[in-house]
Amino acid sequence: MSVPVVNLGGQYNHLICRILTELGVESELLSPDLTLQDLRKKGAMGLVLGGSPRSMPEDLKSLGNLPTIIYDIKIPVLGICLGHQFLGVSFGGVVQRALRPEFGPARIYVDAEDDILEGMGRSFVAWLSHNDELVRLPDELEALAHSRNCRIQAVKHRARPIYGVQFHPEVVHTRGGDQVFRNFLKVCRGRRPRFGSLPYS
């Protein structure tokens, strides 16, 4: 089972690969210039979009093929930090400069567990590092969690296995962060991957 990580330039992206490997799946860093064919050749069962110091939507064009292929990816996707913001913008949401940027630990309050936050409890402490935030949700996404300074800390797509978290579950400062990846892998294992109209075989 392969779950690659798209390297968007964040300092923690290599940690995501390491955690996924420790959880029993193959993982590697990929360029944002990846294609659906690349994912099919690798037998990808899921895809993680890592963090980055870039800003949305100003740097959308710097994300290679992602803005184009995200609509056709039928495998589960987890966006982290900038990856979370990218998903919001891609489906029609609004990302703006945060009124209160979050750097360091903050308490995340779970409004709805869904698949991705299952087992995280009603609240938990997580590590955050962002100047921008998703401030308006598109119709296709719904919010799952918030913090004192950011009302959209986690999202899910209403019809597809797509999730986003503003916090960093990959760092040790996020309590129980591994559980987010365990939950995501559970979703990945429960689905047959499809790329556009072509089934993976």
Q: Which residues are catalytic?
A: 81, 168, 170
Distance between CA atoms of residues 87 and 64, nearest Å? 14
Q: Please give the structure tokens belonging to residue 67.
A: 């803005």
C-alpha 147: how far from its chain's center?
17
Q: Please give the structure tokens belonging to residue 1.
A: 């089972």
Question: 198: how many CB neighbours lie within 10 A of its CB?
Answer: 12
CB 195 within 8 A of CB 74: yes
Place of tokens 């690349």: 38
Strands 5-6 and 47-49: parallel
The residues, ordered by sequence, that sit 6+ positions from 139 with a Cβ below 8 Å of its Cβ are 92, 158
Distance between CA atoms of residues 201 and 13, nearest Å? 28
